[in-house]
Structures are given as C-alpha cells and as structure tokens.
Amino acid sequence: MDKFTTLEGVAAPLKIINVDTDMIIPKQYLKTIKRTGLGKGLFSEQRYKDDGSENPDFVLNKPSYRKAKILEVGCGLGYLTHALKTAGHDIRGLDISSSAVEAAKQTYGPYYVCADVNVFPATTDERFDIIVMTEVVEHLEEPLAVLSSLRALLKPGGVALVSTPSKDFLPQSAVWRTDNPPVHLAWYSKTSLREMARRTQFRISFADFRGYNTAKVAGLEAPRDLASGAGAFRLSPDNQPLDTLSPPRTETFVNQALPDLRRIERRAKYIRRALELYAEQADVLGAIFQRVD
C-alpha cells in the first residue's frame, strides 16, 4: 500500500445527552461473561426503537455518518472501541498502558495502539473525524497539552467528545468532592473547560441534560408543563406513571389510600422543583470540542 499524507472523511455531530459510559453501553449489556458482541449495546437507547429496528434519526444510523473515522483516547481494555467496531464504525483505540492495549488486542483484535497521545500525532498521518475521551481529562497532569494533541489529530471541523465529573453539579462552596489525588488531579466546571478550549483553539459546546433528566429521572416521556405538574411521574409503589393508574372508585379505597396519595403528592412537588433547578445539569459534563481553523 502506498503511503498517503491526506485523509478525508465525514464528522458526525454526536450531540447526545449525558455522554458517559452508562449512555455509551448501558449496564445490562455488561453482565455477560463473554467479551464479544458488545456492539449491540452501543448507544442502544438512541440507536434502536422499541421494536428493535434502527432509529433513522440517530446520527450514527444515517448513511452520511456511518463512515466517520473515530479514535478513542484512553481506551483501556478496549470495550468501547470494540463496541463501535462491531457496530460497523471505523475506529481505533489508543492507550498509554501497554498491558491494557495487549489485553485489548488479544480479546478483540488489532484495532489498538499503545502510544502517548502527545507523541502520536507526530508518528502517524491519520487524522480523525471524531475523538472520544471519556473520564480521562480529570486524570491528566497536563490537560492543555493533551487537548492540543487532540486538535492535531482531528480533521478541520472534527470534534472531540470529552466527558468528566462536573463541579457545576454541586454548590460553589464545595471545594473537592471527587476522587482524591493521585486518582483525580482536577475537578472541572464549564467555566474551566471553556477557558481550556479558548487556550487550545477549540470551539466548545455542552450536552443538554434536560431531556435525559426529564425522561429518565422524573419519568416524563416527553416535554411536559413542569410548573403545573402535568405529565407522568413514576412515583407509584411499583414505579408506574401516575397518569396510568386507575382512579379510586370507593370512599373506603380513598380513605385507605389517602396517606399514600399525600406522600406521592409531596414527592411530585419535590421532583418538579428539583427539575426546575437542575434539569439542565448532571454530575458528568459532556463537552464537545470542535476544531475550527
């Protein structure tokens, strides 16, 4: 194969909610003792409809984005890289740990590279449409150097999807509520990530958690009027939406159920207020760093 110096591709704007490991591969797919077949679980809630067919509106299911060139930085034992590979995407995994990369190769195949991300751009002509780096930046001693290396590895217009624990989730008075050093070396807010993006010449945006918190936390299946309390709150003893429960039919039933109904009403008010305050937040920041030339 002749050496090439230019590689063209398509970047997929993967603006999903809550870009963390639970969203990438839901926990129910990790119960298997097998180390293959994880591709089925990749973004499963976004990729598939209830009947198991593909959701044509999800960006990675669209024909124009299926061939985006992807790099996972900090791939570890290779689960996410393998899942994306088996889902049909062109991806490589990169990690500085030789033992992790060797284990990934033995388990999943030759899709992994052992290298320092700060050295890798000078050793390869490959450039990528998407870089995924989940729960890595908080471990780094020199995060700006790594972000600059990600920029060098991206094609113009390409994006790096970076997730990290969110300092914004807790009050400003919280000094440090994440893993202690040497595990985590930093605890980032949106303000700090914006400054990091400015210094490394990225345009930055953030995932909106409103949909996830509304649908998954409060049990609302679609946007509802939170102020009036309209919509289905999953607060019944068997976790069923309240607006699907049968109405009380007898005075005896009402008298027996009244304490529970009052308790449910209090919980509903609490959740409505919590959503008003925190609907756009989560304990993980999903940052989208886009290379702009």
Tokens 């949909």 belong to residue: 211
b/e sequence 118-132, b meaning 16+ C-beta within 10 Å: eebbeeeeebbbbbb
265 compared with 226, residue with greater pLDDT: 265
Q: How far apart are the first and last CA of the chain?
A: 31
| pLDDT band, very low/low/confident/very high, at 7 (cuts 50, 70, 90) | very low
Strand order in the sheet with 128-134: 112-114, 90-95, 69-73, 128-134, 154-165, 284-291, 202-206
Is 274 or 56 the better-scoring residue by pLDDT? 56
Confidence tier at 247 by pLDDT (50, 70, 90): very low
CB atoms within 10 A of CB 215: 15
Highest mean pLDDT among 85-89, 94-98, 214-218: 94-98
Residue predicted with more confidence, 169 or 292: 292
Query: What is the number of residues in the chain?
Result: 293
Q: Is the pLDDT of residue 196 over 90?
A: yes
pLDDT at 236 over 70: no
Q: Which domains does the chain have, with CATH numbers?
A: 21-210+280-291 (3.40.50.150), 212-278 (no CATH)
Is the pLDDT at 3 greater than 70? The verdict is: no
**Angle made by CA atoms 21, 24, 30, in degrees to the nearest 5:** 75
pTM: 0.63
- The pLDDT assigned to 30 comes to 67
Residue 278: pLDDT band (50, 70, 90) is low
